[in-house]
Structure 1
């Protein structure tokens, strides 16, 4: 595949810097012992026409997102949380006004934006990773005037903020709606079906049952599956809205009907706070009216 790209560049009078190429591979059905053998790297490395040897890396950075060969997003989440923490520390040291309006404006523009870059792609489902991101917002909001003595859940209500987890799921839903209405490219092949009773719904493709367990677990956590499931939770009349602004307004009204109690160390939660979990444990007749 890489050699095809190189050949295409030559045919189009382009020159690629082969020494800067990086490759990440996704090994399947191979034991850890096998991957640790000395000769294993030779079976997965590439050799370009120019004689450059490219060995697969554990993690590569593509458009600001860290992609790992183990199909996990741990590196991306760690880097994101660390960058946001540093920015939050700078904001708190540079600005001494702790009033609600000033602090929220600084937080939303300079800190939260870092926590949400491309988040539908790497949206975590593991509690520890959710908490690592949520702790940045938890720590910052505690510094806001009048919020120090409140619990994190109470601060979210007082400040009219969503948890970062809830906002990521909202982004996923909005993106699926944009795909449905041709406002975003459908590069992952989401299909929709029209049902007379249930309205427009995103299809959930089945995975090959012969796939190894780790692949099946990762598949269930991908954007392609979870975003479609989240979109299908919405009332039929909301899914059929054609204007983006109207959709976002009514989506906000629906999300307000769900509790927003993100997992926090030391707190007992009903579930993992995902919209999917709330719908299973607390079925509700949702309405966007």
Structure 2
């Protein structure tokens, strides 16, 4: 199999200011260096801030939300609008979020604005006499903030890895099960070595420990995703 040099890029993942740059070559041709690559629909930048990913998601979802607003102008059913939002918009907002959920609070707030616009649209059409408030809208529409859902998706991913539903050996190497020496009512189920406390698996473990206090993760497997994502 021959590699296409025009589609081959070099990227160095580091946050150092003084970067050692080496001229990599393929068939005596230098490979172009880049600061951001797209892999399986996710933009990954050299410093792993995921700004490009957030900007891309925001742009795409803003357009889709505008489409939903236009095609539902004469809709009288809130359920139809909700289905369109969750299917077309929120699915993109959460695509591969386990990979890029280390985003800054500024980027997280930027993505949250998409759901805020949807909530405001629903209140304007179906609750015109009620003063709009985002927290009230979430309660009325039975929605969670996108940040909360991303953390629960982190937890769900790790739990599914431990149950064998997803394949991720690196997570199993870093995250272990914590078995207390005696019975206690509140304890963390997952334990991470201090050497890996800043890795994505540690973030997933922290989220899973919170979820395990609210949901019986050893119950029926077929309803587990719904229980984790819908529990307040």
Q: TM-score, normalised by structure 2?
A: 0.84
Q: TM-score, normalised by structure 1?
A: 0.68
How has the CA–CA distance of structure 1 residues 236 and 101 changed in structure 2, closer, same or farther, with 3 Å as cutoff?
closer
Match of 1:90 in 2: 67
Match of 2:113 in 1: 135
8 A Cα contact 1:59 1:66, kept in partner = yes
Structure 1 vs Structure 2 CA RMSD = 2.5
Higher Cα radius of gyration: 1
| Mapped partners of 2:69, 2:105: distance in 1 | 27
Match of 1:189 in 2: 171
1:189 aligned counterpart, secondary structure = helix
2:38 aligned counterpart, secondary structure = strand
2:166 aligned counterpart, secondary structure = coil
Query: What residue ranges of structure 1 are gaps of 5+ in the alignment?
Result: 1-13, 209-218, 257-289
Question: What is the deviation of 1:78?
Answer: 1.0
8 A Cα contact 1:26 1:69, kept in partner = yes
How has the CA–CA distance of structure 1 residues 226 and 106 changed in structure 2, closer, same or farther, with 3 Å as cutoff?
same
Instruction: Say yes or no: does 1:146 pair with 2:126.
Output: yes
Match of 2:96 in 1: 118
| Mapped partners of 1:131, 1:109: distance in 2 | 21
| Mapped partners of 1:78, 1:115: distance in 2 | 11
Query: What residue ranges of structure 2 are gaps of 5+ in the alignment?
Result: none
Match of 1:263 in 2: none
Length, aligned pairs only = 221
| Residues 247-276 of structure 1: CA deviation (Å, up to 9, x unaligned) | 3354357x42xxxxxxxxxxxxxxxxxxxx
How has the CA–CA distance of structure 1 residues 173 and 27 changed in structure 2, closer, same or farther, with 3 Å as cutoff?
closer
8 A Cα contact 1:88 1:107, kept in partner = yes
| Mapped partners of 1:178, 1:188: distance in 2 | 14
